[in-house]
Structure 1
Amino acid sequence: MANLELVQKMRTQTGAGIMDIKQALEEANGDENQALEILRKKGRKIAAKKQAERTAKDGIVEAYIHAGGKIGSMVLLACETDFVAKNTEFKALAKEIAMQVAAMKPEYVVRDDVPVDVVEKEKEICREQLKQEGKPEAMWEKIAEGKLDKFFEVVCLLDQPYIKDDKKKVKDLIDEATAKLGEKIEVKQMIVFGI
């Protein structure tokens, strides 16, 4: 049986459940450091599983109309609960993303949304440019990947530098809000209107 004081100490350190701590200590034959490592590994797996299982089924639609009324955008920003959807920080994030969409006019939300044929066409354009520049063929693939990253920064919302702080990407902005609000947050849809 695990020492009660050790279990309490580890619970304070890790925030893990008492039964999980007892099981980790038994598995580690009472070795505290090894038990902590077991809990860390288990915690990572649980966190990854929770994130994958979570669905962002609530949220808000935010519209942004730029001064002059010539351009506007709408964004569907999703979260897990209506509690977060009503949060002022979540609403502010939606507004920031809507402004980003209006300003930068991304075509896709994430890289996975870009059709394979569009990616292949872009790679082919890169290879042709490299061929004309006389770059060694052995380097084409690596250079093309770098150019493709730049392409994604233009066409994919989450890869774009944030318009108010170009040291951050839009994805970083969403990740920060996810960490702060404790829920999965994702851009489900977006559209830009213009005259």
Structure 2
Amino acid sequence: MSISAADVKKLRDMTGAGMMDCKKALSEADGDFDAAVELLRKKGQKVSEKRADREANQGLILSRISDDKSKAALLEINCETDFVARNDDFQEDAELFLNAAFDNDIDNKEELLELELDGLTVTKRLEEMVGKIGEKIEINNVVLVKSEGTLIDYIHPGNQLGVLVEFDGDLTNEDIGKDVAMQVAAMKPLSVTRDGVDSTLVEKELEIAKDQLLNEGKPEHIAEQAAKGKLRRFYEERVLLEQKFVKDNGVSVKEYLEQNDAPLVKSFHRLQLGEDS
């Protein structure tokens, strides 16, 4: 049957797919718009599978936080190129997924992917985006935090890095919270306190430090004591409350908070494009 230009344009407006793809889908569906949309979705799925081995390390990190600072969400959505990440449609869809996670109290990507929005699961919406844009697109991380204390979010310019910090109490000066969130962004701590550091990693650091000292000719007992000193420096570099405060190296983060009568940090989350959370 003959497919009019108006019908092709209508399908393109409905789906965002290319003109030729729309014309072909309408022809295969004998002019049935619902069937044509389904064909385009299937095409999107095929594109997604076809590009499954491609690297998707560009994209956006987005955050949303409640007015009372008691609930916050972080979302990482990935694509292949920065050009797509700057696309208005891509950004609107990313905001839609972030809001869906926030509004539905979703704290993992698997649950978000199964969520239905306006009749389509998030997985299907991603497949449609792939079919429309032609790049691999995936949601890599979803974080949701609820707190009886205070939550502060920070998104680094460019939306490639985002942080949520939970304070153990009422934080009256939000600037202090932003300072700590930027500390987490810049200095990549492993945990809030020493107790949060993986014991396997601690043992490995001790072993490395001890072996280095033994290789330098230090006696066993001296090497063991000196290794513990190196471990202290490791904690100062990788534990948030023990890190030197980036805006004043004369104090630790813990001392900075105490000097300003601010509650200590209870937890934090840091997402960066292309990194495991």
Tell me which residue corresponds to 2:137: none
Verify: 1:189 aligned to 2:252, yes or no: no
Shift of residue 111, structure 1, vs aligned partner: 0.7
Match of residue 246, structure 2, among 158, 163, 167: 163
Q: Compare 94-103 and 67-76 and name the one that shifted more.
A: 67-76
Quote how far apart the aligned CAs of 1:164 are. 0.6
Distance in 2 of aligned mates of 1:77 and 1:95? 11
1:92 paired with 2:175, answer: yes
Structure 1 or 2, whichever has the larger Rg, is: 2
Q: What is the distance in 1 between the residues matched to 2:251 and 2:164?
A: 22
Q: How far apart are 1:126 and its partner, in Å?
A: 0.9
Kindly indicate whether residue 230 of structure 2 is the aligned counterpart of residue 152 of structure 1. Answer: no
Report the alpha carbon displacement of residue 191 of structure 1 after superposing the two structures with TM. 1.1
Q: In the aligned structure 1, how far is the partner of 2:230 from the partner of 2:184?
A: 22
Structure 2 residue 211 is the aligned partner of structure 1 residue 128:
yes
Which residue of the other structure, out of 137, 146, 154, is the alignment partner of 1:64? 154
The amino acid of 2:149's aligned partner reads G
SS at 1:192's partner residue? strand
Identity %: 39
CA distances 1:40-94 after superposition (whole Å, capped 9, x unpaired): xxxxxxxxxxxxxxxxx74221111112222121101121xxxx44x2x2x2221
Report what 1:77 is aligned to.
Answer: 167
Equivalent pairs, count? 127
Unaligned runs of 5+ in 2: 1-146
What is the CA RMSD across the aligned residues, in angstroms? 1.7
Q: Which has the higher contact order (CA 8 A, sep 6+)?
A: 1
CA distance in 2, matches of 1:99, 1:113: 20
Q: Take 2:162 and 2:148, find their aligned partners in 1: how far apart are those partners? A: 23
1:191 and 1:175 map into 2 onto residues whose CA distance is: 22
Q: How does 1:7-86 map to 2 (within 5 A)?
A: 58-79=148-169, 84-85=170-171
Distance in 1 between residues matched to 2:201 and 2:168, nearest whole Å: 27
CA distance in structure 1 between the aligned counterparts of 2:209 and 2:253, rounded to whole angstroms: 25
Unpaired runs of 5+ in structure 1? 1-56
After TM superposition, the score normalised by the length of structure 2 is 0.43
- How far apart are the structure 1 equivalents of 2:160 and 2:182? 13
Which structure's residues are more often helix, by fraction? 1
Q: Give the whole-Å Cα distance in 2 for the aligned partners of 1:71 and 1:112.
A: 25
> Using the alignment, how far apart are the partners of 2:208 and 2:158 within structure 1?
37
Identify, as 1 or 2, the structure richer in strand. 2
SS in 2 for 1:95: helix
Amino acid at match of 1:66: H
So what's the TM-score if we normalise by structure 1?
Answer: 0.60
SS, match of residue 260 in structure 2: helix
Alpha-carbon contact 2:254-2:264 (below 8 Å) kept = no
